Amino acid sequence: MTGLLSTIDSPADLRRLTRAQLPALAAELRDFLLHSVARTGGHLSSNLGTVELTLALHYVFNTPEDRIVWDVGHQTYPHKILTGRRERMGSLRQLGGISGFPLRSESGYDAFGTAHSSTSISAALGMAMAAHQKGENRQAIAVIGDGAMTAGMAFEALNNAGVLDGKLLVILNDNDMSISPPVGALNRYLAQLMSGRFYSTAKQVGKQVLSRTPHLLELAKRLEEQAKGLVVPATLFEKFGFNYIGPIDGHDLESLIPTLENIKQLEGPQFLHVVTKKGRGYDLAEADPISYHGPGKFDPRVGLQQPAIPPTPTFSQVFGRWLCDMAAHDKRLVGITPAMREGSGMVEFHQRFPDRYYDVGIAEQHAVTFGAGLACEGLRPVVAIYSTFLQRAYDQLVHDVALQKLPMVLALDRAGLVGADGPTHAGAYDIPFLRCIPNVSIACPADEAECYRLLSTAYAQDHAVAVRYPRGSGTGAALPSGPDGLQGLPYGKGELRRQGQRIAILAFGTLLQPALVAAEALDATVVNMRWAKPLDLDLLLAVARSHEALVTVEEGAIAGGAGSAVLEALQAARLPLPVLQLGLPDRFIEHGDHGKLLAGLGLDAEGIERSVRAWLAPVEPQQGVAA
**Tens digits of residue pLDDT in 384-401:** 999 999 999 999 999 999
Is the pLDDT score of 548 beyond 80?
yes
Active site (catalytic) residues: 278, 364, 392
pLDDT of residue 334: 98
Q: What percent of the chain has pLDDT over 90?
A: 80
Kindly state the helix (H) or strand (E) to which residue 382 belongs, with its residue range: strand 380-386
Cβ partners under 8 Å of residue 432, min gap 6: 556, 557, 559, 560, 561, 564
Tell which CATH architecture fits domain 5-287.
Answer: 3-Layer(aba) Sandwich (3.40)
Is the pLDDT score of 622 beyond 60?
no
- Segment 246-270 shows an average pLDDT of 93
Q: Does 315-468 carry CATH code 3.30.1330.40? A: no
pLDDT of residue 230: 42
Is the pLDDT score of 228 beyond 60?
no
Estimate to the nearest angstrom the gap between the alpha carbon of 361 and the chain centroid: 13
Phi and psi at residue 350, to the nearest 5°:
-60, -40
pLDDT of residue 311: 78
Among the ranges given (412-416, 481-485, 525-529, 583-587), the one the predictor scored with the smallest mean pLDDT:
481-485
Is-contact 51 78, C-beta < 8 A?
A: yes
**Tens digits of residue pLDDT in 6-21:** 999 999 999 999 999 9
Does the CA dihedral 436-345-511-585 come out positive or negative?
negative
Residue 447 gets the label, from left (phi > 0), alpha (psi -120 to 50) or beta, of: beta
pLDDT of residue 231: 44
**Tens digits of residue pLDDT in 555-613:** 999 999 999 999 999 999 999 999 999 999 999 999 999 999 999 999 999 999 999 99
Is-contact 303 329, C-beta < 8 A?
A: no
**Tens digits of residue pLDDT in 104-136:** 999 999 999 999 999 999 999 999 999 999 999
Give the residues across from 67 on adjacent strands.
140
Cβ partners under 8 Å of residue 282, min gap 6: 30, 34, 44, 48, 292, 300
CATH number (3.40.50.920, 3.30.420.130, 3.40.50.2300, 3.90.1150.10) of 496-616 reads 3.40.50.920
- Segment 249-265 shows an average pLDDT of 95
Domain ranges for the chain, please list them: 5-287, 315-468, 496-616
Cβ partners under 8 Å of residue 355, min gap 6: none
pLDDT of residue 196: 59
**Tens digits of residue pLDDT in 56-92:** 999 999 999 999 999 999 999 999 999 999 999 999 9
- Segment 238-254 shows an average pLDDT of 90
Is the pLDDT score of 229 beyond 80?
no
Cβ partners under 8 Å of residue 458, min gap 6: 409, 441, 443, 465, 466, 467, 488
Cβ partners under 8 Å of residue 453, min gap 6: 445, 480, 487, 488, 489
Q: Do the domains spanning 5-287 and 315-468 agree at the CATH topology level?
A: yes
Q: What is the DSSP string of 126-190?
A: HHHHHHHHHT----EEEEEETTGGGSHHHHHHHHHHTTS-S-EEEEEEE-SS---TTSSHHHHHH
- Segment 215-244 shows an average pLDDT of 63
Is the pLDDT score of 348 beyond 80?
yes
Mean pLDDT rounded to a whole number for the chain: 90
pLDDT of residue 620: 44
Phi and psi at residue 258, to the nearest 5°:
-60, -35
Is the pLDDT score of 213 beyond 80?
no
Of the ranges 161-175, 197-211, 428-442, the best mean pLDDT one: 428-442
- Segment 246-268 shows an average pLDDT of 93
pLDDT of residue 547: 97
- Segment 305-329 shows an average pLDDT of 89
C-alpha distances (whole Å) from 198 to each of 137, 203, 265, 274, 621 are 21, 8, 11, 22, 83
Q: In 3-state terms, what secondary structure has residue 278?
A: coil
Neighbours of 568 (CB within 10 A): 12
Neighbours of 261 (CB within 10 A): 16
Pairing of strands 495-498, 380-386: unpaired
Is the pLDDT score of 335 beyond 50?
yes
pLDDT of residue 624: 41
pLDDT of residue 149: 87
- Segment 15-34 shows an average pLDDT of 97
Tell me the C-alpha distance between 603 and 599, whole Å.
6
pLDDT of residue 232: 45
pLDDT of residue 484: 85
Is-contact 362 338, C-beta < 8 A?
A: yes
**Tens digits of residue pLDDT in 465-524:** 999 999 999 888 999 987 788 999 999 999 999 999 999 999 999 999 999 999 999 999
Nearest to 319 by CA among 475, 487, 530, 470: 470
pLDDT of residue 623: 46
Is the pLDDT score of 226 beyond 90?
no
Edge-to-edge strand list for the sheet holding 440-443? 357-359, 333-337, 380-386, 408-413, 464-468, 440-443, 531-533
Among the ranges given (178-192, 357-371, 491-505, 550-564), the one the predictor scored with the smallest mean pLDDT:
178-192
pLDDT of residue 182: 39
